[in-house]
Amino acid sequence: MIDGDVQFDANGRLRHCLTTEGLSGDQVREILDLAESFADVNDKSIKKVPLLRGHTVVNLFFETSTRTRSTFELAAKRLSADVLNIDVARSATTKGESLLDTIANLRAMQCELFVMRHPDSGAAHYVAGHVDEAVHVINAGDGQHAHPTQALLDVFTIRRHKPAFADLSVAIVGDLRHSRVARSQIHALRALGTRDIRVIGPRTLLPAAVESLGVTAHDDIDRGIADVDVIIMLRLQRERMEHALLPSEREYFAGWGLTPERLRRARPDAIVLHPGPTNRGVEIHSAVADGPQSVILEQVTNGIAVRMAVMALITGNAPGQPA
Ligand code: CP
């Protein structure tokens, strides 16, 4: 387990956003409440507040991304920050420059907020442990470990529809084994008091001892999603599978895909989430992804407000925050 304490300063204030593990319910709610105020900003014709004027945010993505990278860029711009998008494939990392040297050089350009996605679990923690105290690091996904802002935008989206977390039954379905998102979601849901969290998938795609995270494990989706309020579908991460862990995609869809027929086993007002990218016909049927119970595109929209909140909070620039 990676130590999450580095994300707090000596006064217990969130300085980096590296993991949802160890966040209290109050800390999660503070982020979600602030995100609500930024959602209002995003609904206005002029979508800007001056909270990060004079700050420079660096998007440093060593893995591909559509949603996370774009919404961080929009969030930073809506906070009036300058934004630098590093094209890693064309950067000096291809000439052997180390991660810390890359950060040090960007730091020499007065950049102070680094949004980083990296294939290695622990990469963001490593950087956070080596930067000066004016620097803030946000983990935008590290290996199979954590994706905290995705989990925060997911619980923000759930809260808008179903605010009583303690009463919710939540199913997380699919490739839990390779999912940094699922781990972060479980920690965030538990911080908010959710007691019934069910993880569902073929045994080969459920992590060993997953129940130790405070969830129940099921390999039968039809039983697992019965009467749930929230279904979170996950993508099959074939790029992270070192061995054949699965039958064909067609068989996977037949066994664990979310179809309109299966969705009827959940509560009639259940909502369906997916962090994206979705693979239609593999883990989710198009009629569900585009259907009335889907909140998948709301998740994307909410990502902007939640990422604005995280950036404002960790830099000490949220309204009403002590200097
Ligand atoms: N959910 C998510 O992380 O999507 P991207 O890979 O497009 O950023």
List C-alpha distances in Å: 35 to 75, 165, 179, 267, 305.
Answer: 11, 18, 25, 28, 5
- Answer yes or no: is 320 within a domain: no
Position of tokens 């983990």?
A: 139
User: b or e along 71-85 (b: 16 or more beta carbons within 10 Å of the residue's beta carbon)?
Assistant: bbbbbbbbbebebbe
Q: How far is the CA of 140 from the centre of ligand 1 (A)?
A: 9
- What span, in angstroms and rounded, lies between the C-alpha atoms of 40 and 26? 22
Expressed in angstroms and rounded, the spacing between residue 11 Cα and the centre of ligand 1 is: 32
Ligand 1 neighbours by CB, cut-off 6 Å: 65-69, 141, 150, 275-277
**Burial classification of residue 45, based on how many CB atoms lie within 10 Å of its CB (0-12 exposed, 13-18 middle, 19 or more buried):** exposed
Domain extent, residue 46, equals 5-146+301-314
Q: Is the pLDDT confidence value at 81 over 80?
A: yes
The pairing of strands 82-86 and 113-118 is unpaired
Predicted confidence (pLDDT) per residue in 241-291, tens digit: 666 677 788 999 999 999 999 999 999 999 999 999 999 999 999 999 999
Q: What is the DSSP string of 65-102?
A: -SHHHHHHHHHHHHTT-EEEEE-GGGSGGGGT--HHHH
| CATH code for position 130 | 3.40.50.1370
| Percent of all residues in the chain with a pLDDT value above 70, rounded to a whole number | 97
Measured in Å, residue 276 CA sits from the centre of ligand 1 at 6
Does pTM top 0.85 for this prediction? Answer: yes
Question: What is the rounded distance in angstroms from the CA atom of residue 81 to the CA atom of residue 51?
Answer: 8
**What does the pLDDT read at residue 243?**
66
Pocket test for ligand 1, best of 59, 68, 183, 299 (most atoms within 8 A of CB): 68
Assigned domain for 250 exists: yes
Q: Which of 62, 63, 65 to mutate to test the pocket of ligand 1 (most atoms within 8 A of CB)?
A: 65
| Residue 26 confidence class, pLDDT cut points 50, 70, 90 | very high
Residues 163 and 284 in one domain: yes
Alpha-carbon distance 83 to 111, whole Å?
9
Domain count, the chain: 2
